[in-house]
Structure 1
């Protein structure tokens, strides 16, 4: 979508959109940042090695992604952007459901009586 949005954009259009700093370093290329321009880092990805804790982290990440896609959809009226965003949002819902099922399986296994 980034390439689709920037395709054919002139330098003046990029400046007018507040993207001059991005252009200076990355031209029309993709460079993952948050909405404030802070570059992506894995520092916020948590893993404790505990399956219950890690699955809760995964569930939260899917909900955050779903909300972000909804926010992006609210910022545009372009159907060529809204349709892929709807697909991506639905994918996050499915991921959330699958992580929830995995959490149920893990908790059932942890609660199962063990015989040795």
Structure 2
């Protein structure tokens, strides 16, 4: 059950209309890194979440993102100012003509779409995506701060920016509780999961924790070692860890040469008798 409370999470105050900035702020109303995207993504993920604690977190943050959408929309409407009589060079003409308020589109006029939503059902993957989404939104707000001198608007933007930081922190902490689960559990299923391929030639090859230490093997010339026909070693048996496992019969799909193993004690097969020829 959802309930709208008429008191905003943070009071929106605008000193004076600024249609140009109103158009820029649309990025966080109907853009790919905006508040509606975040609310819909986290709520969608919560539906498929079987972890009660993380589901609660997703729903809490999704509800707050809806309150942020309301704040941004209210701010845009105030920044537009009166739209009863507008000039031909009005900086946000599309909003004045369509509704006198924020349409669900970004600052370039591209409509909001459900394609922005990322939900896989794997908690480790989804929370990693959410953490990144919060950082992208924070970056947009930081850039928006550079585009206005309105004290009230800057105050609201700083609040929203801070909440993006808070949500990112929550997602990162939740990710830490999922180590060794989901897609993280399935990682490193072969020797190539711990190799770094040096594929940029010339001066300036850099080394760091991304390609050394932690069991990582640095391949200086991977094309010489692995290029050409596949030479990765003998394929694992069909029942080995990481493979599809027993009971899967269509192994010829990706390996036409695969010979179906025979049962250790095959039962005799009785061939049907051919009908007697007619005389």
TM-score range, shorter chain: 0.7 to 0.9
Alignment pair present for 1:32 and 2:89:
no
Alignment of 1:47-66 (within 5 A): 47-66=119-138
**How far 1:21 sits from its partner (Å)?**
2.8
Structure showing greater relative contact order (alpha-carbon pairs closer than 8 Å, 6 or more residues apart):
1
Q: Distance in 2 between matches of 1:35 and 1:3?
A: 14
1:114 alignment partner in structure 2: none
Alignment pair present for 1:106 and 2:178:
yes
Higher helix share: 1
Q: Distance in 2 between matches of 1:34 and 1:20?
A: 14
Question: Please, which of 96, 115, 118 is the counterpart of residue 23 of structure 1?
Answer: 96
Q: Distance in 2 between matches of 1:29 and 1:75?
A: 20
1:79 alignment partner in structure 2: 151
Question: Please, which of 76, 80, 84 is the counterpart of residue 2 of structure 1?
Answer: 76
Specify the structure having the higher radius of gyration (Cα). 2
Equivalenced residue count is 107
**How far 1:7 sits from its partner (Å)?**
2.6
Q: Distance in 2 between matches of 1:74 and 1:103?
A: 32
TM-score, normalised with respect to structure 1: 0.83
Aligned residue for 2:82, secondary structure, equals coil
2:165 alignment partner in structure 1: 93
What RMSD, in angstroms, separates the aligned Cα atoms of the two structures?
A: 1.7
**How far 1:32 sits from its partner (Å)?**
2.2
**How far 1:74 sits from its partner (Å)?**
0.8
1:67 alignment partner in structure 2: 139
Q: Distance in 2 between matches of 1:21 and 1:53?
A: 38
Q: Distance in 2 between matches of 1:79 and 1:21?
A: 26
Q: Do 2:134 and 2:167's aligned partners in 1 also have CA atoms closer than 8 Å?
A: yes
**How far 1:6 sits from its partner (Å)?**
1.5
Aligned residue for 2:121, secondary structure, equals coil
Q: Which runs of 5+ in 1 are unaligned?
A: 112-116
2:86 alignment partner in structure 1: 11
**How far 1:40 sits from its partner (Å)?**
1.2
Q: Which runs of 5+ in 2 are unaligned?
A: 1-74, 185-279
Aligned residue for 1:101, secondary structure, equals helix
